Structure 1
Amino acid sequence: MTVMRTVELEGHIIDSGAMGRCFGVVMDLGGEFEVEEFDVGRHKHAETYCRMRVSAESADDLRAILHELNQNGATVADPRDATLEAAPDEQVVPAEFYSTTNHPTFVRVDGSWVEVSDPEMDCALVVDRTEDDPVVRTKVLNAIEKGDLVVTGETGIRVEPPERPRNGGSSFGFMQGGVSSERPSASLIEEIADEMRAVRDEDGTVLVVCGPAIVHSGGRDALAELVREGYVDALSAGNGFAVHDLERNLYGTSLGVDTESLEHPRKGHKHHIYTISEIGRVGGIEAAVEAEIVDGGVMYQCIRNDVPYVLAGSIRDDGPLPDTITDAIEAQDAIREQAREADLVLMLSTLLHSVAVGNCLPSTTKTVCVDINPATVTQLLDRGSAQAIGMVTDIGTFVPMLADELLEAHR
């Protein structure tokens, strides 16, 4: 027996490709659609409206189609309130719970649309009725508490993917980032610098996600200058980045290699573990700075300028440093808090750590991804940001060029 529902699309749905994607979803999943109303916006600021009836052979097939349409911005016409079910146990969600995107999302509760706070992908939606007005939040599955009112199904949910502006815009415009090593790096770096200045002028937050390659390739001093001059408001990294930054200060090496002469000093391969030992001996990075054991570098500037940092550990870590968060869930929560505060994120030559941060970001956060490997940049841009720039270049070249652009007036 054929079942059907009517859905609506509204906005710059032609320019952004949303309408075409929705048509494709219906056909790819074996359904059919009939456009009942189509009103095209006739100037660059006007929105387009499309109303279509979607049909499928079974309720399960239709549910699958509606789910995919919802992810692409379509809303069921004449919406009802979202379906809420109590979580049966700690860290257990009801069957058919709604799995989130990182796009701006609204949930219909008690007849009104409520915006979801802190949108994040791959979470559940939980409705809190303890306030005067209902509040809807994203929750990771391990944070679900027994009795939480969890949104299930597709009813009463509206997703608003960012749209492509008709007047173009800067390199941060909708999905204009692309990936190419032949793009004009100098002009892109200038735009990134302008964005960083704008964020600072508006008291926003620039989050930098750092990989050890920054130290290995010679970008460490330039990044430290950016921290010192107030262009970096938060830092996220793994144990390795901090160790090699500190090793560079204590021994002049990174991974045992002299970063100036590229020579291998005797016992240089042990410098990273010696560094961890020395920092651990005094009780951590801040203590090492206060004791003047460490007197330069990125971590030094973070301490001296009160720039908060999160060092998230992994199974690969030596040591690790006392400052490194070794509990994975605790590290996730710390990264999540950073990501929610960020207005601009620079992901610098670290695939896995950048993916971890990217998973916590709403799609509206501006993101810059830089790596020498094109596949890395592509994967990071595919995490769901609609405002991203990807640059395939040596990080040891990029960071000094960015610092020169930002700090020329200070020198």
Structure 2
Amino acid sequence: MTHSRTVELEGHIIDSGMLQQAMGIVMDLDGNFNVEAFDVGVHKEDESYCRMEIYADDAVTLQEIVHELHQIGANLTDPVDAKLVAAPADQVVPKGFYSTTNHPTQVRYEGEWIEVENIEMDCAIVVEPGSASEQNSEGSGDVVEAADGGPRAYTKVLNAIEAGDLVVTDEAGIRVDPPERPRDSSGPFGFMQGGVSSERPSESLIRQVAEALVETKETGGKVLVVAGPALIHAGAADDLARLVREGFVDMISAGNGFATHDIERGLYGTSLGMDMETMEHPRKGHKHHIYTISEVIRAGGIAEAVDEGLVDSGIMYECVQNDVPYVLAGSIRDDGPLPDTITDAVEAQNAIREQAHEADMVLMLSTLLHSVAVGNCLSSTTKVVCVDINPATVTQLLDRGSSQAIGMVTDIGTFVPSLADEVLAEE
């Protein structure tokens, strides 16, 4: 017996490779397809449309194909409501639950398409029913904003699921809308087509990243900086501090090492024991970071150390002085750690997630693990620039599913000072 479902693809599906990718998925998973309708946009601005029926020998294979097609934005044509199943216990999702992408998503509930709030990858979708009087009884198919008392749909990580939560299962009643990169150089990020490169002219790219950052701030957006200790070691701390001081950084996500070496530099002039002026290792310099942690612990925390005058310069100083919130997520290898470091992994994830959901633009600066952690929490509509001297950092971020990220393979010690100069010159 043959099983089938019909899907449709809309947008710039030809030049973006989406149509080819969809056909490849069907064939790679031992399915077949029949194109029922295909309308090709003839101008650069025109969108194309394709409707095709997917066949498979069994229901399990068909479900796997449909799931993979959903990940790239192919949606089922039948306008049925999403299937909701109550979670059987805390932190336990129903079998066959829908695992989200990081693309804008809607679910259909009682004839309405509802936008999924706080979309991010690898989550479940929970629907909260609203009062009948608030809902659209005509089922027009229009996407509606959840009003007070109306139905809501939002993501939850698995460890936040509560018994009785109505969790979306299967792919029916779900629409995914992957954003597309522009086909020309239009838009603030049109220059960043092509993924990762170390060969494009850095000065030109840095200038355009600066323009995008300034535009984000001018339009009321928020900028999140994800930074690693390499930024301090490379001598770029003063320049990031300038950006914080001048209001171009709204949030910082980092680790214990980043904050420690930033403060160490202010107290001892060293970073991880190396003199930042002479590039030499002074006697007992290797102990400076642990001395730094000890002094901050004695003060009661970073803000307290700033208040008492112990810390009077650097990135963390500027964050405290300018009310820029920061999340320091701990790891098993941390020394100390600083009192501000969140050592509970789930608590740290939730703090990072809160920042990520507020961000409109993210700069990821020489930190693999924190970049991937933040990238996992971002919607695909968030602008992301990842900079690292190691191309593996950028490619791993892309491989994890942050398809909207673009990468620059360059020295962070060159990038951040140049970026700060360009941004402040824009004022």
TM range, smaller chain: over 0.9
Letter in 2 for 1:83: K
Aligned to 1:151: 168
CA contact (8 A) 2:73 2:176 kept: yes
The alignment status of 1:349 with 2:373, answered yes or no, reads no
Aligned to 1:113: 113
SS of the residue corresponding to residue 45 of structure 1 reads coil
Distance (Å, rounded) in 2 between the aligned partners of 1:59 and 1:174: 43
CA contact (8 A) 1:176 1:387 kept: no
From 205, 217, 229, the equivalent of 1:212 is: 229
Distance (Å, rounded) in 1 between the aligned partners of 2:105 and 2:282: 55
The alignment status of 1:320 with 2:320, answered yes or no, reads no
Aligned to 1:192: 209
Trace 1:173-322 onto structure 2 (pairs within 5 A). 173=190, 176-322=193-339
SS of the residue corresponding to residue 196 of structure 2 reads coil
Aligned to 1:77: 77
Structure 1 residues 166, 192: CA separation in 2 closer, same or farther (over 3 Å shift)? closer
Alpha-carbon deviation of 1:163? 2.0
SS of the residue corresponding to residue 215 of structure 1 reads helix
Distance (Å, rounded) in 2 between the aligned partners of 1:167 and 1:179: 17
CA contact (8 A) 1:15 1:164 kept: no
TM-score normalized with structure 2 length? 0.93
Structure 1 residues 175, 301: CA separation in 2 closer, same or farther (over 3 Å shift)? closer
CA contact (8 A) 1:176 1:388 kept: no
Distance (Å, rounded) in 2 between the aligned partners of 1:50 and 1:174: 29
SS of the residue corresponding to residue 197 of structure 2 reads coil
Distance (Å, rounded) in 1 between the aligned partners of 2:289 and 2:7: 58
Structure 1 residues 382, 71: CA separation in 2 closer, same or farther (over 3 Å shift)? same
Structure 1: where are the runs of 5+ without partners?
none
Trace 1:159-170 onto structure 2 (pairs within 5 A). 159-170=176-187
SS of the residue corresponding to residue 126 of structure 2 reads strand
Letter in 2 for 1:52: M
Distance (Å, rounded) in 2 between the aligned partners of 1:164 and 1:200: 22
TM-score normalized with structure 1 length? 0.97
Q: Compute the RMSD of aligned alpha carbons.
A: 1.5
The alignment status of 1:395 with 2:412, answered yes or no, reads yes
Distance (Å, rounded) in 1 between the aligned partners of 2:90 and 2:129: 19
Alpha-carbon deviation of 1:46? 2.1
Structure 2: where are the runs of 5+ without partners?
131-147
SS of the residue corresponding to residue 21 of structure 2 reads helix
Distance (Å, rounded) in 2 between the aligned partners of 1:146 and 1:173: 45
Alpha-carbon deviation of 1:132? 3.0
CA contact (8 A) 1:174 1:386 kept: no
Alpha-carbon deviation of 1:170? 4.9
